[in-house]
Chains A and B, each alone.
Chain A
Amino acid sequence: MKMQLLGTALLSAAMAVGVAGQVQADDFPSKPLTLVVGWGAGGSTDIQARVLANVLEEQLGQPVNVVNQPGAGGGVALSRLAVSDDEGYTFVFGTSMTITFGPLSTETNYQLDDFRYVAGVTLGQSAIVTGEDRPFGDTWDGLIEYAKENPGTSYATQTALDRMIIEYIAQQEGLDLRIVPTSGGAGMAPLILSGDVDFAYSGGTHSGYADSGEMPVLLGLAEDRLAAYPDAPTLQEAGYDINAAEIRMAMVPKDTPDAHVERLAEALEVATQDERFIEITEERILMPVTWMPEDEVTQTLDDQVAGYKALLEELGGLPQDEE
């Protein structure tokens, strides 16, 4: 057993050293790659990234090592990537929120244009949800009507982004909401299921309750209607001009050579058609696989950042700036 412990540790150390050496060559990739995940092991991004790494490994003909750099909602990984000169050998797999809203809500040493967005491969399914048997039913219009008559209707927030969206909506509709913080889907679910909170943001937890119907979706936050909840309107359909769609994508530093980006993109496109990647994403994490090339992702992110900035201005800054 002890030998095995030692073995594992040595092997990992060897992997880490292997990536460090730098070789210049045109036939990218000519050495092992590192896929950085900005979240801890075991989370949905990590689960997906490990399968993605396997597929990429076959496509690129080089080992792809997954490394977790958790912290700051994926921000730690990005701040390290921003100063990386690894020419695409090190890339981050993460979610768009870290790069679009992160720099607006916290102080970061990176900006949207510090990176190239190789490709988007998965669409987020975040939503505004509620519980069963609520006095306002399970429709968005019902909720708005109820909240107008009942000041102090409660909403559970998880991220700075969904807080901003809900504050914008409250301002538009003239609502007086009690906004409670909660951490992650595991913190939100008990509040919604027990009825202590009226409605809430959900990153993806609701997908797990799609069959039982215990967590109806009021509003989808993706660009299109959610795969598991086709009846819930999107933000735009409900009349709010916000694009908060989450995209999971691969990112490299902005000075990465074109040839390297193209090679990575090719491999990623194959991955989006690979059964293993589709299965882990659509059946385990319950998010649809998609294919968005670099220019499309970049355009979407640009639009989102512009939209968020306008929204923040309208709201008079972030909550912490008011104090």
Chain B
Amino acid sequence: MIGFDAIFTSFSAAFHYQSITVILGGVLLGYIVGVIPGLNRSVAIAIAIPLTFYMSAYAAIAFLIGLSKGTAAGSAVSAILLNTPGEPSSAATCLDGYPMASAGKPRKALKVGLLASVIGDLLATLLLIVVAIPFAAVALKFGPYELAAILIFALVFIAGMAGGSFLKGLAAGGMGVILGTVGLDPETGAMRLTFGYAELMEGVPILPLVIGTLALSEMFVQLDEYRRNKDAAVIKLGNSADDDLSYGEFKGTLPTILKSTGIGAFVGALPGLGPSVGAFMAYGVAKRSAKDPDSFGKGNPNGIAAAEAADNAVIPASYIPLFGLGIPGSVSAALLVGAFMIHGIQVGPLMLRDHPEMLFTIFSGMIVASLLMLAVGWYGLRIFAKVTSVPPHIVISVVIFLCLAGIQVQGYGTFGLIVVFGFAIFGYFLKKLDYSFVTFLVAFIVTPMLEMNLRQSIILSGGEISILLDRPIALVFVVITVLMVLHLGWSSYRRWMQVRRQVPQV
């Protein structure tokens, strides 16, 4: 099925100057977005999707992947120089990055961060390539029963793991599911929750929903915060030779980088946990296993290396369930599914079967993106250091403009604008009240797939639940899901009881 010549062709396609230009554009834009505090990956991808309509499907995906990788690396810059993470997931980088930069070694800190990012990203990308293919080969044998069981499992898992309370996670997932069922019933053709709008017949349009809940609402949150803290000091880069990163120093951080990459990749492959969890977990492990744990938090390069390697390793690893099963495990993966759908491509195991060249081209594009990330970060160090001081009032207004322009360009018209604002307000409250965003978005994206597979299973089996005995994989996932719900429910109940018992005493 996949010969070496196919792999070779895909690589030569990825190294073509046109693809390199597209990927470079993505990485550069991602880096800038990552550097600017308050602009994050999901905002960037959401507003970039409309731009990709002018590209071929491959270029579009390569661009978006470059973009999402670039943000992860770029966000370290503002974490180190500004003590403000460009992405929430770089918060762990601040812990040692900012003290190190304050101590007169900003360039050293940035370079450690960059190298850790690139190595973490590259290794996790290789892992993705190695793991996703056998995974997809197995998943190809899955029918509607298995897919329905796995999707339910993934949703419950994400709701339980995405942080905060399990109940809030389920609520966020439930909202996603309800919005995901809007539109024509796939079987009877009856209108569901469309309230007479023909525009809603094929479901809530994905782009306005994504741009509204992710990008526009984030700008509202930023506006909020901007009013409160207006100034932060940026550390300027000097020229002292002492500030250069020596090979010896780099070698010293290498074991931490490798270990943290492993942690990041593991966290990334599990749906719902996300890069912040990965970065803090790796930081904690690095600190605990270090000989001098007290130096962490005071400018230890290993602290930066751990946080950045893990942060970047999460992104490619979170594409393992995406390419293997077609299930997005993170916000950026969910957005990629949307982008694939808009370009008429169904992500999942079938891609490996029918378009292996496409899959390999994407993989090789990802590797090219890693390498470009290094070049961009290394040579653009000083320029990006300046970008950190772009004032938020410019950033916020440009982004709001791009959000609305993106909707208009796509021809959604006034209806799209209303939807965008509706979801922006909705997203604002999700964020303020701490409802899991990933759960909501993933639930919305997978609901049509889940509903379809569930209904197919029920019809094909004639409603016999005993069909599960013939389908061991589906049975296993159903059992795990039930156990997980019991466990999560029980432990949140106990926590709740504890809180209740403590309250009268205080």
- Given A181-B455, A320-B189, the answer on whether A72 and B201 have CB atoms closer than 8 Å is yes
Cβ A9 vs Cβ B401 within 8 A:
yes
Contacts of A9 in B (CB 8 A): 401-402, 405-406, 409
Cβ A194 vs Cβ B342 within 8 A:
no
Q: Which of A6, A12, A190 counts the most chain B CB atoms within 10 A?
A: A190
A69 to B187, CA, bound (A): 24
Contacts of B409 in A (CB 8 A): 8-9, 12-13
A9 to B185, CA, bound (A): 35
Query: Which of B24-32, B310-318, B483-491 lies at the interface with chain A?
Result: B24-32
Cβ A72 vs Cβ B202 within 8 A:
yes
Cβ B186 vs Cβ A12 within 8 A:
no
Shortest distance from the beta carbon of B463 to any chain A beta carbon, whole Å: 10
Contacts of B199 in A (CB 8 A): 71-72, 76
Cβ B410 vs Cβ A68 within 8 A:
yes
Q: A112 at the A/B interface (Cβ < 8 Å)? A: no
Cβ B201 vs Cβ A196 within 8 A:
no
Q: A186 at the A/B interface (Cβ < 8 Å)? A: yes
From A8, A193, A318, B189 is in contact (CB under 8 Å) with A318
A56 to B29, CA, bound (A): 36
Cβ B342 vs Cβ A40 within 8 A:
yes
Cβ B144 vs Cβ A191 within 8 A:
yes
Q: A160 at the A/B interface (Cβ < 8 Å)? A: yes
Q: A152 at the A/B interface (Cβ < 8 Å)? A: yes
Residue tally, chain A, CB below 8 Å to B: 52
A10 to B201, CA, bound (A): 30
- Interfacial residues of chain B within 185-213, with CB under 8 A of chain A in the complex: 185-191, 198-202, 205
Contacts of A178 in B (CB 8 A): 459-460, 462
A196 to B83, CA, bound (A): 55
Shortest distance from the beta carbon of A43 to any chain B beta carbon, whole Å: 5
Bitwise interface map of B from 388 to 402 toward A, beta carbon under 8 Å scored 1, else 0: 000000000010011
Q: B168 at the A/B interface (Cβ < 8 Å)? A: no
Cβ A42 vs Cβ B201 within 8 A:
no
- Interfacial residues of chain A within 94-115, with CB under 8 A of chain B in the complex: 105-106, 108-109
Residue tally, chain B, CB below 8 Å to A: 52
- Interfacial residues of chain A within 3-58, with CB under 8 A of chain B in the complex: 5-6, 8-9, 12-13, 16, 40-44
- Given A160-B189, A191-B143, the answer on whether A181 and B411 have CB atoms closer than 8 Å is no
Contacts of A43 in B (CB 8 A): 344
- Given A9-B409, A191-B143, the answer on whether A72 and B459 have CB atoms closer than 8 Å is no
Cβ B141 vs Cβ A194 within 8 A:
yes
Contacts of B184 in A (CB 8 A): 72, 106
- Given A1-B29, A320-B189, the answer on whether A13 and B405 have CB atoms closer than 8 Å is yes
From B201, B342, B459, A75 is in contact (CB under 8 Å) with B201
A154 to B53, CA, bound (A): 38
Q: B452 at the A/B interface (Cβ < 8 Å)? A: yes
Contacts of B375 in A (CB 8 A): none
A67's nearest neighbour on chain B, judged by CB, is: B411
Q: A228 at the A/B interface (Cβ < 8 Å)? A: no
Cβ A41 vs Cβ B189 within 8 A:
no
Bitwise interface map of A from 154 to 191 toward B, beta carbon under 8 Å scored 1, else 0: 10100010000000000000000011111100110111
A198's nearest neighbour on chain B, judged by CB, is: B460
A178 to B467, CA, bound (A): 16
- Interfacial residues of chain B within 396-420, with CB under 8 A of chain A in the complex: 398, 401-402, 405-406, 408-411, 413
Cβ A42 vs Cβ B459 within 8 A:
no
- Given A69-B411, A178-B460, A186-B346, the answer on whether A42 and B198 have CB atoms closer than 8 Å is no
A102 to B477, CA, bound (A): 40
Cβ A320 vs Cβ B144 within 8 A:
no
From A8, A160, A189, B54 is in contact (CB under 8 Å) with A8
- Interfacial residues of chain B within 1-59, with CB under 8 A of chain A in the complex: 25, 28-29, 32, 51, 53-54, 57
Q: A319 at the A/B interface (Cβ < 8 Å)? A: yes
Contacts of A301 in B (CB 8 A): none
B25's nearest neighbour on chain A, judged by CB, is: A1
A194 to B353, CA, bound (A): 12
Q: A63 at the A/B interface (Cβ < 8 Å)? A: no
Q: Which of A43, A186, A189, A320 counts the most chain B CB atoms within 10 A?
A: A186
- Given A72-B198, A160-B189, A183-B448, the answer on whether A196 and B32 have CB atoms closer than 8 Å is no
A70's nearest neighbour on chain B, judged by CB, is: B202
From B187, B202, B343, B398, A42 is in contact (CB under 8 Å) with B343
Contacts of B54 in A (CB 8 A): 8
Cβ B448 vs Cβ A41 within 8 A:
no
Contacts of B401 in A (CB 8 A): 9
Contacts of B191 in A (CB 8 A): 106
Q: B456 at the A/B interface (Cβ < 8 Å)? A: yes
Contacts of A79 in B (CB 8 A): 198
Cβ B350 vs Cβ A190 within 8 A:
yes
Name A's B-contacting residues (CB within 8 A). 1-2, 5-6, 8-9, 12-13, 16, 40-44, 67-73, 75-76, 79, 105-106, 108-109, 152, 154, 156, 160, 178-183, 186-187, 189-191, 193-194, 196-197, 208, 318-320, 323
Report, nearest first, the 5 A-B pairs whose CB atoms are least far apart.
A186-B346, A9-B405, A72-B201, A42-B344, A181-B186
- 30 sample A-B contacts, Cβ–Cβ < 8 Å, listed by A number: A1-B28, A2-B32, A8-B51, A9-B401, A12-B405, A13-B408, A40-B342, A41-B342, A41-B343, A44-B344, A73-B202, A76-B199, A106-B189, A152-B462, A154-B459, A181-B187, A181-B455, A182-B456, A183-B448, A183-B452, A187-B452, A189-B354, A191-B456, A193-B353, A194-B142, A196-B460, A208-B354, A318-B189, A319-B189, A320-B190
Sample of 18 further A-B pairs with CB below 8 A, known A16-B408, A181-B455, A196-B143? A5-B402, A9-B405, A13-B405, A40-B344, A41-B343, A42-B53, A71-B202, A72-B184, A72-B202, A76-B201, A106-B184, A108-B198, A154-B459, A181-B452, A182-B452, A189-B350, A320-B189, A320-B190
